[in-house]
């Protein structure tokens, strides 16, 4: 076993049973594995990218130290890299719920999506239709719009309800005999709203269309099983769940085998997922990815972490200051711990900047790249508060208290009195 594979297997898994909740003592031990969490700054920016455990950085560096080079050569460093790639595919497949050969690595979800949609475009023709949703991040919309512009396709947008849940009835109305792809998010990046992925994949399949899933936010908060939902393509980014800046995609084997990838001619075409990896892989990031999966497994897996994040989310919702306008679902039912909040008459950018000075990392933005949702719901500008499993109840309480003080200080009533 190589040092990379050994590193992945070195940390025993914790049982993920419902009666084995994460405790404050365990959170302290978890946070000790992150150099970035040793001060008092509170990171509530997980949707933009999580903090990274030290072991992930060490594993990335170890590849440079022990196996820098490339695959295909008959000596030790090259053979270590080949073994590293094999283990990274196997671990990614376990994380997503598919076969190792169905895994594709790339720069990030958006880069993978542009590449895969462009490849599929070789089999599409003028007049074909793509259905996207108003819940989508633009990374799962813009590639289809560009392809439509080039090929004469039509892109149709399925609507959402006022609470930011997907309107399945409207989605079904948008799907027709010329629909070739139904693209949707498993979880909304702006509001944390979950989508019934199995229901959408079933609708696509019944129409003879492909289901194309953006799982960037879902993979960061919930356990995945891409086969259980019946998806054809699913993509995510590891830096959203404490990993390196690396994209991972699943493609159903039969679909991948039917596509003709853009590829340098001498490069190997097996395993099938490798057909869609252009150029040399970022081997050092694959080393970091293995360490990421090992880290998550050592904590009991995503289901156990999701339960803790659910508790943190409930704490945040219960303590939001008076006057908060929450965009999306009002409880933790049907969502992950990503929240979009603003306050009438108070600039969200100002709140974000002042929170940063007080030691809280929270973004303020307009669309958060969810252009269709922003147009449909119209929140203007808002704070996005995103929780990760390394956050604590104390951090949530401190954040709500700080936010309440700022809101009181900048409220229109306080401004009039001044």
| Model pLDDT, residue 9 | 47
**d(Cα 69, Cα 78) in Å, to the nearest integer?**
7
| Model pLDDT, residue 2 | 56
Helix or strand or coil: residue 326? strand
pLDDT < 50: residue spans in the chain: 1, 9-17
Contact 90, 289 (CB under 8 A): no
| Model pLDDT, residue 7 | 54
The percent of residues above 70 in pLDDT, for the chain, comes to 94
- Topology adopted by domain 77-296: 3.40.640
Residue ranges of the domains in the chain? 77-296
| Model pLDDT, residue 6 | 55
The DSSP bridge partners found for residue 364 are 383
| Cα dihedral value 374, 377, 380, 386, nearest 10 | -70
Comparing C-alpha atoms, which of 243, 301, 223, 302 is closest to residue 51?
Answer: 243
Give, for 342, the enclosing helix (H) or strand (E): strand 338-342
| Model pLDDT, residue 17 | 45
- CA distance to 108, 142, 155, 216, 358, per residue, from 285 (Å): 12, 27, 35, 18, 33
Give the position of tokens 């809280």: 360
Handedness of CA 248, 363, 316, 380 (dihedral sign): negative
CB atoms under 10 Å from CB of 393, counted, come to: 14
Comparing C-alpha atoms, which of 49, 53, 26, 23 is closest to residue 38?
Answer: 53
Q: What is the reported pTM?
A: 0.94
| Model pLDDT, residue 230 | 98
């Amino acid at each position: 076993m190589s040092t990379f594979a050994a590193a992945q297997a070195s940390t025993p898994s914790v049982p993920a049973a419902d009666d084995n909740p994460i405790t404050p003592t365990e959170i302290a031990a978890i946070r000790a594995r992150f150099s970035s969490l040793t001060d008092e700054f509170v990171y509530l920016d997980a949707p933009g990218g999580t903090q990274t455990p030290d072991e992930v950085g060490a594993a990335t560096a170890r590849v440079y130290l022990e196996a820098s080079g490339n695959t295909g050569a008959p000596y030790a460093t090259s053979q270590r890299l080949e073994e590293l790639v094999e283990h990274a595919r196997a671990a990614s497949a376990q994380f997503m719920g598919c076969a190792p050969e169905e895994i594709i690595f790339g720069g990030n979800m958006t880069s993978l999506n542009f590449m895969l949609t462009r490849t599929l475009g070789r089999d599409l023709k003028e007049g074909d239709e793509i259905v996207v949703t108003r819940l989508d991040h633009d990374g799962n919309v813009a590639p289809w719009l560009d392809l439509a512009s080039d090929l004469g396709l039509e892109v149709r947008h399925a609507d959402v309800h006022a609470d930011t849940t997907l309107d399945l009835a409207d989605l079904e109305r948008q799907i027709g005999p010329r629909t070739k792809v139904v693209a949707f998010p498993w979880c909304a990046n702006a509001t944390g709203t979950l989508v019934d992925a199995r229901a959408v994949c079933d609708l696509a399949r019944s129409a003879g269309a492909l289901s194309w899933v953006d799982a960037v936010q879902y993979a960061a908060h919930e356990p995945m099983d891409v086969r259980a939902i019946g998806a054809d393509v699913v993509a995510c980014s590891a830096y959203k769940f404490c990993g390196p800046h690396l994209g991972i995609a699943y493609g159903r084997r039969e679909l991948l085998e039917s596509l003709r990838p853009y590829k340098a001619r001498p490069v190997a075409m097996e395993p099938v997922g490798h057909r869609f990896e252009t150029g040399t892989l970022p081997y050092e990031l694959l080393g970091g990815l293995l360490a990421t999966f090992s880290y998550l497994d050592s904590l009991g897996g995503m289901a156990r972490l999701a339960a803790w994040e659910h508790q943190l989310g409930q704490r945040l919702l219960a303590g939001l200051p008076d006057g908060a306008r929450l965009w999306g679902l009002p409880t933790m039912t049907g969502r992950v711990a990503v929240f979009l909040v603003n306050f009438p008459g108070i600039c969200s950018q100002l709140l974000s900047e002042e929170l940063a000075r007080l030691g809280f990392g929270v973004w303020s933005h307009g669309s958060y790249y969810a252009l269709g949702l922003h147009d449909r719901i119209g929140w203007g500008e808002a704070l996005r508060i995103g929780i990760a499993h390394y956050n604590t109840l104390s951090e949530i309480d401190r954040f709500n208290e700080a936010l309440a003080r700022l809101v009181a200080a900048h409220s229109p009533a306080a401004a009039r009195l001044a």
